[in-house]
Amino acid sequence: MKRCLLITTSYPSRGPAGGEAAGAFVRDFAQILSKHIEVTVVAPALQAGTEQDDNVKVVYFLVPRMPLSLLSPLRPIDWWPITLALKHGAAAARREAGSFQPQHILAFWTLPGGFWAKLCARALRIPYSVWALGSDIWTLGKIPLVRGILRRTLREAKHCYADGEQLRRDVELLSGRSCDFLASARMLPCPKRSRFATQAPYKLAFLGRWHENKGADILMETLLRLNDEDWRLIDKVRIGGGGPLANVVEQGVRELQSAGRSLELHGFMGRQDAAELLGWADWLMIPSRIESIPVIFSDALQAGCPMLATPVGDLVHLVESLGVGLCARSADSEGFTELLKRGLRTSPGQFSSGIVASAQKFNVAESARRFLRDAELGALD
């Protein structure tokens, strides 16, 4: 049986439920691959070790903080945690690649995973592929020295993937090579939605990192801007997640609750809780400043939940062209406030057919099938 090594900086098997950031779908992807080939995953955790996750062997390397996505090379306080994570991750990848002897390596994401994959692939004389993340290109790509490492890592890969059309184009622009779209999606235990709301008051939900890129502060500013008439159109707002803007979110929720507004605050959510939240909501709010196509987008499609989104990345055309929700005119609190007011006066039920049709296009099994074929590792039945 053929073998593939997956290198990732986020994997949902360990750590707080829902706190795996962009790696939410990696486990499902690995599990589907493991039905046809041998799969080993190298991933970070707060405690090093090895575990068997169904058919997938997961090798954890030690990092001082999780998730790694919240560490930034632009903050000196993060330099030591980043250095340790890079050292331990590189060593784990080399060690496991040497013992597992895979025919192919797939890295999530370009840095640092793709760079580790490149070093391992050179030593083993095998190909590697890279799945690029928006923050790779749009954040790390702005740092001159790092930009060069990104470019070389992408250029030497056998295949490059991105989970958004705008991101795909930007990867090609940076690397000077081809990049293919591959949807990032996970499998939720979603019951089929029996009805779509047709009139107010509506249930609103947000689930994601409380981070500037995800617009957690935009969300709170928007909710604070709504007037009494707007709030009469809202049944309840439920906010899930966690991250560096926790103080902003928690303070905003306290202010709104003191004013008699109906809000619930939750922490990170595992897939069961996320499915229940999206199945409950009439509208999912996506107030991001920087985005490609977030995993929560495909989550919402599976759960049958219409979306209110900012016009960033591929969301700017996907949401409205697929008929799955409404898009703001700008990615700021003014634009999102206008959008939310509009959404509260629009029937979510009108998006039911677009959601049902679009859910088939964002499927983790299809992404796994495409990778197996590209990597010449076999094919899904």
The predicted-structure confidence for 329-359, as pLDDT tens digits, reads as follows 999 999 999 999 999 999 999 999 999 888 8
pLDDT grade for 206, boundaries at 50, 70 and 90: very high
Neighbouring-strand partners of residue 38:
3
Those residues with Cβ within 8 angstroms of residue 45's Cβ, 6 or more apart along the chain or in another chain? 14, 15, 60, 61, 62, 63, 66
| DSSP code of residue 12 | T
Closest CA to 224 of 198, 259, 196: 259
**What is residue 40's three-state secondary structure?**
strand
66 pLDDT band, cuts 50/70/90, is confident
* pLDDT of res. 70: 73
- Cα distance between residue 1 and residue 377, in whole Å: 9
Bridge partners of residue 159, in order along the sequence: 129
Neighbouring C-alpha atoms within 13 Å toward the C-beta of 291:
27
Q: Calculate the alpha carbon distances from 363 to 23, 275, 281, 367 in Å.
A: 15, 16, 22, 7
Tokens describing residue 58: 């997961």
Specify whether the CB–CB gap between 97 and 123 falls below 8 A.
yes
Model confidence band, residue 21 (pLDDT cutoffs 50, 70, 90): low
Which string of DSSP letters, residue by residue, matches 50-63?
Answer: EEEETTEEEEEEE-
pTM for the complete prediction? 0.80
pLDDT tens digit string along 246-268? 999 999 999 999 999 999 999 98
Rounded mean pLDDT, 116-132: 97
Tell the CATH topology of 202-359: Rossmann fold (3.40.50)
Question: Tell me, what's the pLDDT at 14?
Answer: 60
Tell me which residue has tokens 């899904």: 380
Quick one: average pLDDT of 203-223?
Answer: 96
Half-sphere exposure of 280 (CA within 13 A, CB side): 16
- pLDDT at position 359, please? 85
Chain Cα centroid distance, residue 245: 18
Dihedral sign (CA 195, 199, 202, 207)? positive
Cβ atoms of 218 and 184 within 8 Å: the answer is: no
Numbered ranges of CATH 3.40.50.2000 in the chain: 3-185+363-374, 202-359
**For 127-135, what is the mean pLDDT?**
93
Backbone angles phi, psi at 329, to 5 degrees: -85, -20
Mean pLDDT of 93-99: 97
Q: How much is the mean pLDDT over the chain? A: 91
Q: Is the pLDDT of residue 88 over 60?
A: yes
CA–CA separation, 294 and 69 (whole Å): 14
The string of DSSP letters for 100-167 reads H--SEEEEESIIIIIHHHHHHHHHHT--EEEEE-HHHHHTGGGSHHHHHHHHHHHHHSSEEEESSHHH
Sign of CA pseudo-dihedral 210, 241, 56, 373:
negative
Is 308 in contact with 326 (CB distance < 8 Å)?
Answer: yes
Find tokens 């890592």 and name the residue: 153
Both tokens assigned to 223: 């909710």
Query: Looking at per-residue confidence, does 141 or 74 come out higher?
Result: 141
In angstroms, what is the C-alpha Rg of the chain? 21
pLDDT class of 162 with cuts at 50, 70, 90: very high
* Contact (CB, 8 A) for 375 and 106: yes
Q: Which CATH superfamily is domain 3-185+363-374 in?
A: Glycogen Phosphorylase B; (3.40.50.2000)
CA 261 – CA 173 distance, rounded (Å): 46
Amino acid at 21: A
Mark out the alpha helices in the chain (DSSP H runs): 26-34, 79-100, 115-124, 134-138, 144-156, 165-175, 216-225, 228-231, 246-258, 271-280, 295-303, 315-321, 333-343, 352-359, 364-374
Cβ contact 61:88 at 8 Å: yes
- Name residue 60's amino acid: Y
